[in-house]
Structure 1
Amino acid sequence: MSDARVTNWAGNIVFSTSALHRPTSVEQVQDLVAAGGPVKVLGSGHSFNRMADTTGDLISLAGLPRIAELDPDRTSVRVDGGIRYGDLAELLHAEGLALHNLASLPHISVAGAVATATHGSGRQHANLAAAVSAIELVRGDGTLVTLRRGAPGFAGAVVHLGALGVVTALTLDVEPADELRQYVYDDLPRAAIEAHVDEILDDGCSVSLFTTWTSPDISMVWLKRRESMPAGDYHGARRAPEPRHPVPGMPAQNSTDQSGEPGPWHTRLPHFRMEFTPSSGEELQSEYHVPRQRALDAIDALQAIGHRIAPALQVCELRTIAADDLWLSPNYRRDTFALHFTWIADADTVLPAVAQVEQALAPLDPRPHWGKIYTTDPATVRAHYERFDDFVALVHEFDPYGVFRNPWLDDLLG
């Protein structure tokens, strides 16, 4: 237990608790929960709102024994609730295996990313939670339960927002490892986006477009592919003459290899190297998911307000995510075009810009990323999810006494 001031990664949230526990066994987790709460779990701290806040006990699972148990058929791996994606990726790669995708930053915890439907990019790649085939969690009464894919409630329990329990282990689908190449191009013309947006977004295992919305053109295209790229321009964009950082003007030494040379999957899919360990982030983040077929509409909507949000914005990343069947996934039953905003670290400047973004995207049925900053009212958020009432019923089943509740969840659940 610690009495030190606890903040999230960005430092914009100071948690209300004075008790941060670091259990070293699942049994210790069960004892903490059985004591009655309130209890919340702190992952790697990469959420930007108060979804993990509590005045009670805050639990870090980083001290749990590391688990990475391969199934005998080598199609799945069981991992503990504290492991990070970068660490798991290295363990899997040593076995000739891989995950279907990774997020931009490999330092985030697996359990935390799954709980919020965090994602990578790719037309055929669903978010990271879609790889979960079993989830083990401590319910509100302290009992340990396991749900497996296909069981009643499983599709509602995977993206759980911390409302159902403490996830102590997950089983994830894996696949044979592969090598990838990464290429970065500068200044993709607006005309190319209008004419070839689907071709561009599908042109790789993972594709990210970066813009500041101060120009109709796209600042950078990051392509992660198995195949090599032909020499020359890319839809009018020029091959970057030197390595790039996603945020314009930032040094690129911590970015992953952009030479076009093949390398292990886990050294190309993220934007940042695992050996670079970010202790804090001078930024705030928001993200919105709209139907894939509305990509050009979303781009037009943001370009129309680009000059108004520019003072608050560092960069915006545009990506695609495949549909899934997880109840609270922003990609539930629809292929998605995601707009990720990296803002400056000034909430007074950022929040009005966030509200303008939400207003611009409102006609496009936007679903906010659960772990980011958004100002959309809870009733509107709930209306975007057809299985939300079923999720509320699941919360009452797993946590009838509200051990895992906090004001953020109270507002959302109603």
Structure 2
Amino acid sequence: MTTIDVGSTWAGTHRFGAAALVEARSVGEVREAIRHAPGRIKALGTRHSFNDLADTEGTLICVTDFPDSPLVDLTSPADPTVNAPAGMRYGTLGAWLQARGWALHNTGSLPHISIAGATATGTHGSGVGNGCQSTALRRLEFVDANGEMRVVRRGQPGFEGLAVGLGAFGVITEVTLGIQPTYDVRQDVYTGMPWEALLEETPQILADAYSVSIFTTWTEDTVQQVWRKSGVHRTTPPPDAWHGATRSAESDARLVGGDPEALTPQGGRPGPWIDRLPHFRLTHTPSNGAEIQSEYFVPMEAAGEALAAVRDLGDRIAPLLLVSELRAVAADDLWLSGAYQRDALTIHFTWGPHPAEVAALLPDLEAVLAPFDARPHWGKWHAFDAAAIARVHPRLADARALFEELDPDGRFANDHLVRLGVRASRADSRA
């Protein structure tokens, strides 16, 4: 175990204020660190959050240096699974599974993110039939505030509250995920979709392929790009004309400002799921790097209205924006998921490095989304307070009670979680 300087999130949007960082390489080292660390503790993954969710003034414990040692379990043929270290990156696990003929149901746009970090925040890919990445969880193994090992499985009391657990109850060391036989995907780029078509047909457009991503800067006459990711053995070949858009003849249509070599292959060339569902290659720097991200989950049934409301702010959004991405997430039963009990459209903003201007805009953006009970992504910039979070997350009080039961002294609480009402405030939690 070593203690080193803590540093910043990957995009530099937050500098950690922890007194120490412990880089654990085994479950035993996590247990020892928790038993001996004074005061508060927080787990740290691959640093892909954009706010202070994963910070503490106490000790950060990182689990990304565990050996990559997944294990496929076929004990239940109807529900095959893989056990994997919590700090393992999705791209690394995906390549390992692909080599053995297996796959996950979906991935996020970045394969660089740790499994525990992504599932703890309800991170997602796209697809009207695809739940967020947390829905693949079958089992969580974690170390509690006393340094003891705990296990919770799907179907057991509290699992739905811990699956999207925000690091609020312990340090997750291993996860079990549902898997399926591997599959190939082709990725086609469409341009020129009229905004009118998008506003009228958003649910249908997002449902037209296994995974669909729509990119916009809000003020253009036609939608910038649509990436249609089709399972080659599940759907017919994509049409040349689609919802008023045209399939790009280029195989390298790219996002504005992005590195062309960083993106996964497009142009309709089939390839394994792990090389097509993520937008970015594991071998390259993810996304634009110098950026701020925000994201909101709104009910799919109100998609057109919500997009029109945001577009009314387009002239204020565009000068600060690199690009926005629109995706679909299937409803689930996980208490703090953005898609809890409702199919969701996610409205994502990748902002340029303009922190003061973005912070000033977010309250107005959230005001136009308030009629749709928009839920913010937990790991990204937003302006919600505890009252606003409670209004849009109906199981917040249940989750807080569960976290308090598991961690009554608040060792895994931090200022961010207290500020949002996820953990209770207590005077002795900093002792």
The two structures share one fold, judged by TM-score above 0.5: yes
3-state SS of paired residue (2:357):
helix
Say if 1:191 and 1:229 are closer, same or farther in 2 by CA, change over 3 A. Answer: farther
Q: Residue 22 of structure 2 corresponds to which residue in structure 1?
A: 21
TM alignment of 1:114-263, pairs within 5 A: 114-226=119-231, 227=235, 229-230=237-238, 232-242=240-250, 243-246=252-255, 248-263=256-271
Q: What letter matches 1:352 in structure 2?
A: A
The answer on whether the counterparts of 2:6 and 2:21 sit within 8 Å (CA) in structure 1 is: no
TM alignment of 1:31-46, pairs within 5 A: 31-35=32-36, 36-46=38-48
* Percentage of identical aligned residues: 44
Gaps of 5+ in 1: none
Please tell me whether residue 321 in structure 1 is matched to residue 323 in structure 2: no
The answer on whether the counterparts of 2:257 and 2:288 sit within 8 Å (CA) in structure 1 is: no
Q: Residue 56 of structure 1 corresponds to which residue in structure 2?
A: 58
> How far did residue 4 of structure 1 move?
2.5
Say if 1:196 and 1:71 are closer, same or farther in 2 by CA, change over 3 A. Answer: same
Please tell me whether residue 391 in structure 1 is matched to residue 399 in structure 2: yes
Give the TM-score of the pair, scaled to structure 2: 0.93
The answer on whether the counterparts of 1:315 and 1:341 sit within 8 Å (CA) in structure 2 is: yes
Stretch deviating more after TM superposition (300-309 or 113-122)? 300-309
Q: What letter matches 2:10 in structure 1?
A: W
Gaps of 5+ in 2: 425-431
Q: What CA RMSD, in Å, does the superposition of the two structures yield over aligned residues? A: 1.6
Please tell me whether residue 297 in structure 1 is matched to residue 302 in structure 2: no
> How far did residue 141 of structure 1 move?
1.1
Q: What letter matches 1:164 in structure 2?
A: F
Partners in 2 of 1:249 and 1:390 — Cα distance?
A: 43
Partners in 2 of 1:314 and 1:157 — Cα distance?
A: 34
Partners in 2 of 1:347 and 1:208 — Cα distance?
A: 26
1:265 corresponds to which of 258, 273, 286: 273
> How far did residue 216 of structure 1 move?
4.7
Give the TM-score of the pair, scaled to structure 1: 0.96
Structure 1 runs (4+) greater than 4 angstroms displaced: none
The answer on whether the counterparts of 2:199 and 2:308 sit within 8 Å (CA) in structure 1 is: no
Q: What letter matches 1:168 in structure 2?
A: T
Please tell me whether residue 350 in structure 1 is matched to residue 358 in structure 2: yes
> How far did residue 230 of structure 1 move?
4.7
Say if 1:233 and 1:264 are closer, same or farther in 2 by CA, change over 3 A. Answer: same
Residues 118-176 of structure 1 deviation map (CA, whole Å, 9 limit, x = unaligned): 00000000000000011011111111110011101111011101101000000000001
Q: What letter matches 2:244 in structure 1?
A: G
Partners in 1 of 2:266 and 2:272 — Cα distance?
A: 13
Residues 77-133 of structure 1 deviation map (CA, whole Å, 9 limit, x = unaligned): 011111000000011111111000000000000000000000000000000000001
> How far did residue 5 of structure 1 move?
4.7
> How far did residue 218 of structure 1 move?
1.2
The answer on whether the counterparts of 1:244 and 1:251 sit within 8 Å (CA) in structure 2 is: no
Say if 1:279 and 1:101 are closer, same or farther in 2 by CA, change over 3 A. Answer: closer
3-state SS of paired residue (1:253):
helix
3-state SS of paired residue (1:370):
coil
